[in-house]
Chains A and B, each alone.
Chain A
Amino acid sequence: MRDFENMNPAAVTVHLLLTACITIFCMEPFLLGISMLCGIAFFVMRNGRKHIGFHIGAIGMPVLFALLNPLWNQHGTTVLFFINQRAYTAEALFYGCVTGIRLCAVLYWFRSFSDLMTSEKLFYLFRYLSPKLALVFSMTVRNLTLFRQQMQKIRLSQRAVGLYREGHLIDDIRGELRIFSILLTWALENGIITANSMAARGYGLGKRTSFTYFRWHAGDFALLICTLLLSGAVICGIAKGVTEWQFYPVCAPALRNLPYFAVLAAYTLLALLPLICEGKEALTWKRLQSEI
């Protein structure tokens, strides 16, 4: 068993996308709350006390959203107070809170997704679709750093030639354009050279295999199957309208029956899967340490 980050990228992608997508397309406050808490817990578990700025943004923006929604939204019957003769209703405030929680949850899940999915892993996923496309993708990623370095070289040599005046805006812009133009010529010629050398080594002649270090272990299959079963159950429940809330004009929660709680339980389990993977790993580590 490995921690969530080192699971097979395909299984991880399916899990995170399903968890986030259910959050996006469902308006059930409790489900959204669970999603948000698990999303935050997973993020904090991986990052500790880092990224305080992201926390402030991701929690602050939804709060703002919740408070402002009643200003635009005039639905709802329970008036709290009036601003400029416009009613500020409790229902609209509640709806704003729910949308805010949804936004916050989605932000956290996608942030974790971006952190986990390095371009190497995305390359691995693309490979299944089209090896050629995967090659273009990985070459582009490599080109990004290459061009930046080359740009720096060009800039230095342009300065050495004396083509800049200090602190002159027009001159700066013209200089940057010249650097871009030089970079473009170089990049195109360099690309052609790369293509020629690829062709010389026999690229495109026959079927090729590509190297990857991601494999399918039993744990990955377990994660994938659990994800598909649980999210399938949740999506069925949502499609049947089990989690249907009414927000306007009066707030009416979904019926509290067995299917409702089943959907909530299934979603909780789904959102907890990454935490379980990470937690198990941490426990094993602790135990091994204590045995030394």
Chain B
Amino acid sequence: MLVIRSEKIRRLLRIALPFAIMPAIVLLLPLGIQSQYYALVSFIMVLLALLLFLAGFERRDLGTRRMILVSVMTALSVLGRLLPLIKPITALTVLSAMYLGPEAGFLVGALSAVLSNFVMGQGPWTPFQMLAWGLIGLFAGLLAKPLQRSPLLLYTYGMLSGVAYSMLLDIWTTVWTYKEFTLHEYAAAISTAVPLTCLYAVSNLLFLIVLRKPIGDKLSRIRKKYGL
């Protein structure tokens, strides 16, 4: 991360990472590395994916206003994560993505994960959480139009993203506990996490039902008023 001060190297990184470094790791994996380093490799891949997205962020012109709104929504969802048991991060990420766009959604998800982990505890799982929440936001942003139109679809998306979040993090649990990845062990990890998955899905649904109208209205009003 240290040398990326100059614009040239940043650009190089944006091209080299997805087209050279990441495929190379995937191809070399079965050749050189034993299965027990799956955990390490998956950790590195997730870090690289995040690095790629965040390095690309600099180039895009998100607009000052949208950028500030991202920081506002992130702060709100971090505050919300301090609630006991049920966490509104997913709901807030999805709602901000719907009205502020896919990139803003990714940022709200990923940044809330890092920031709230200052309280909840940082660890090797932080990049995975960042990626999981970031992707939930990204896809919500891409599906913005249909999600805004139909609440039913939004609720389904919320519940599915709870399940997807849990399954993505279970990949990490599996490689971390067993040092390898087989479908059998992955299934075991998923089945032990069923109560948590249900909790995620239900809390996402509840928060979306409660927050959809007020937050959606406010965000779309701000968008209309200031022409974002």
Task: Tell me if A64 is interfacial: C-beta within 8 Å of chain B.
Answer: no
B29 in the interface (beta carbon within 8 A): no
Contacts of B71 in A (CB 8 A): 136, 139-140, 143, 191
At the interface, yes or no: A81 with Cβ under 8 Å from chain B?
Answer: no
Whether, in the assembled complex, B218 has its beta carbon less than 8 Å from a beta carbon of chain A, the answer is yes
A260 at the interface (CB under 8 A from B): no
In the complex the two chains form, is B218's CB within 8 Å of A191's CB? no
Q: Distance in Å from the Cβ of B93 to the closest Cβ of chain A?
A: 14
User: For the side of the interface on B, what is the size category?
Assistant: 35 or more
Residues of A within 8 A of B33 (CB): 239
Contacts of B118 in A (CB 8 A): 114, 119
Name the distance in Å between B211's Cβ and chain A's nearest Cβ. 9
**Nearest B residue to A136 by beta-carbon distance?**
B71
Task: Report yes or no: B111 in contact with A140, Cβ–Cβ below 8 A.
Answer: yes
Given contacts A114-B118, A128-B5, contact A184 B40 (CB under 8 A): no
**What is the 8 Å Cβ interface bit string for chain B, positions 75-106, against chain A (1 contact, 0 not)?**
11011000000000000000000000000000
Chain B residues with CB under 8 Å of A106's CB are: 123-124
Indicate if the CB atoms of A25 and B39 lie closer than 8 Å: yes
Residues of B within 8 A of A192 (CB): 65, 68-69, 222, 226
A10 within 8 A of partner (CB) = yes
Known: A143-B72, A181-B214. A131 touches B58 (CB 8 A): yes
In the complex the two chains form, is B214's CB within 8 Å of A204's CB? Answer: no
Q: Which residue of A lies closest to B41 (CB)?
A: A25
Contact A24 B39 (CB under 8 A): yes
Known: A136-B107, A203-B64. A191 touches B37 (CB 8 A): no
A34 to B121, CA, bound (A): 24
Q: Is the CB of A188 within 8 A of B64?
A: no
Q: Scoring A residues 87 to 122 as 1 if CB is less than 8 Å from chain B, else 0, what string do you get?
A: 000000000000000000010001001100101001
- Quote the shortest CB–CB distance from B25 to chain A (angstroms): 14
Chain A contacts for B193, CB-based, 8 A: none
User: A148 an interface residue at 8 Å Cβ cutoff?
Assistant: yes
Q: Which chain A residue shows the least CB distance to B177?
A: A99
Task: Report how far A28 CA is from B220 CA in the complex, Å.
Answer: 56
Contacts of A195 in B (CB 8 A): 64-65, 67-69
Q: A187-B72, A192-B226 are in contact. Are A133 and B115 (CB under 8 A)?
A: no
Residue from B57, B76, B115 in contact with A130 in the complex, judged by beta carbons closer than 8 Å: B57
Q: Are B111 and A129 in contact (CB under 8 A)?
A: no
- B147 interfacial contact with A, CB 8 Å: no
A10-B1, A110-B121 known; A184-B218 Cβ under 8 A: yes
B40 touches A130 (CB 8 A): no
Produce 1/0 per residue, A186-200, CB < 8 A to B: 011111101110110
Is B210 part of the contact surface with A, judged by Cβ < 8 Å? Answer: yes
Cα–Cα distance between A117 and B40 once the two chains are bound (Å): 23
A-B contact pairs, 15 of them (CB 8 A): A21-B40, A21-B43, A21-B124, A106-B123, A129-B4, A129-B54, A132-B57, A133-B107, A137-B111, A140-B115, A143-B71, A143-B72, A147-B75, A184-B215, A196-B65
Q: Report B's interface with A, CB cutoff 8 A.
A: 1-5, 33-34, 37, 39-40, 43, 51, 54-55, 57-58, 62, 64-65, 67-72, 74-76, 78-79, 107, 111, 114-115, 118, 121-124, 176, 179, 210, 214-215, 218-219, 222, 226
Additional A-B contacts beyond A130-B58, A132-B62, A188-B222 (5; CB < 8 A): A24-B39, A106-B123, A133-B58, A195-B67, A204-B64
